[in-house]
Structure formats: C-alpha cells, structure tokens
Amino acid sequence: MARWQPNASQRLVVAALELFEEQGYENTTVIEIAERAGLTKSTFFRHFPDKREVLFGGGTMAGLLVDGIAAAPAEAGPVDAVAHALAVIGREAFTPDRREFSARRRAVLAAHPELREREALKGLGLTAAMVEALARRGVLALTARVAAELGALAWKLAYERWSDPTNSDNFGDLARRTLTEVRAASALC
C-alpha cells in the first residue's frame, strides 16, 4: 500500500491489532506496525505517541461525549444528558461495521495487563470529560460526578454487550437501556 494513501491512522490501528493478535503486544514493535500498514515509523509517531496508544483513539471519544452532553435538550437532567451523549457515540463511533473489530480489540486488551491499565486510565479521562461537560450545563459537582460515573459504568457494560458478535443491537439503544438498568440498580443500594 502506498504511503500517500489516506487513512494512515486507521491503517496503523488495524495493523497493530493484527500484529498484537498474531504475536502479542509485548513482541510487536512500532516499526512492524508501520511496515504492516505500509507506512514509516515517523508517520506512526505523527499519529500516536507510542504503541500503547494505537488502540485508544486519541481524544475522539471524549470530544463526542462533551459534544453530546452539550447538545442534549436544555430540559434534560444530568443522566439524560449522558444518555444523549452515549447515543451520539453510538451513531458516530460504534457503528455496525466496527463490531467485529471491537470484539477483537477487547480480546487483545484482555490478554495484556498494560493495555488493560491504559483502558482503565482512558475510562477515568472519559468520566472526567463527562463531569466537566455536565458542570458546564450548570449541574452541581456531586450530581455531575454521580451521573458521569453511572454513565461510565453503563458505557462499559453496553460496550461489552455490543461488541459480542451475537448481539445485533445498535450501541446507542443498548447504552440507553443499560444506563436505565444501572440507574435502577443504584437505587437499590
């Protein structure tokens, strides 16, 4: 594949996932990822700071969450604003053509502690982004934190369900149902 072809970032992600599946995360180098994608090492580093970041999409998800919360109807409560943001993510990022890739990604992350750690850190960052977006809507700090934490848990559970190849639900609907379940379960505590 020629270096000038578009979608370098996505090509690097696909190449990394393939190599991590084939030979493990620890045994894969940035050079191998770049070569598999038909790119150079310097191109890799223009898109990602290191190989650990290649499966984590930069700030895309945080931006979608913040925009989704901001775009929620003015009358939406904090949890409903989070639900709105999860629906946006479903439309923009978790499309049906990404389901197989996501299942493969989950398997690679599960097999590598360093990647699980990065996933956990990413989750904390996404939760913080939701808290900040809710605060901008005028939501009190504690309420914003609780709504964001519920949203983060619902997102994690919905993502696990959605990326199961036997599931045909779209992510947005699944996330809304899961958020309702999480909200109801929290009332029982």
Confidence category of residue 183, pLDDT binned at 50, 70, 90: very high
Pairwise CA distance, residues 57 & 54, whole Å: 7
Hey, what CATH topology would domain 68-188 get? Answer: Tetracycline Repressor; domain 2 (1.10.357)
- Superfamily holding 8-54: Homeodomain-like (1.10.10.60)
pLDDT band at 1 (very low <50, low <70, confident <90, very high): very low
Q: Which pLDDT score, from 0 to 100, does residue 175 have?
A: 94
Is residue 58 over pLDDT 70? no
Rounded CA separation 66/188 (Å) = 29
**Residue-level pLDDT at 5:** 62
pLDDT at 96: 87
pLDDT at 57: 73
pLDDT for 16 equals 97
CA distances 75 to 70, 83, 145, Å, are 12, 13, 19
**pLDDT on residue 189:** 82
- pLDDT reading at 22 higher than 90: yes
- Quick one: what percent of the chain has pLDDT higher than 90? 85
Q: What is the pLDDT of residues 128-173, one digit of tens each?
A: 999 999 999 999 999 999 999 999 999 999 999 999 988 889 999 9
Quote the pLDDT of residue 165.
85
Look at phi and psi of residue 109 and say left if phi exceeds 0, alpha if psi is from -120 to 50, else beta. alpha
Residue 160 CB coordination number (10 Å): 15
Of residues 146 and 3, more confidence is placed in 146
What is the C-alpha to C-alpha distance for residues 132 and 144, in angstroms, rounded to an integer? 8
The domain ranges of the chain are 8-54, 68-188
Interacting residues of 70 by C-beta distance below 8 A, sequence separation 6+:
133, 136, 137
Q: How many CB atoms neighbour CB 165 within 10 A?
A: 10
pLDDT at 51 over 80: yes
Q: Please state, rounded to an integer, the average pLDDT across all residues of the chain.
A: 93
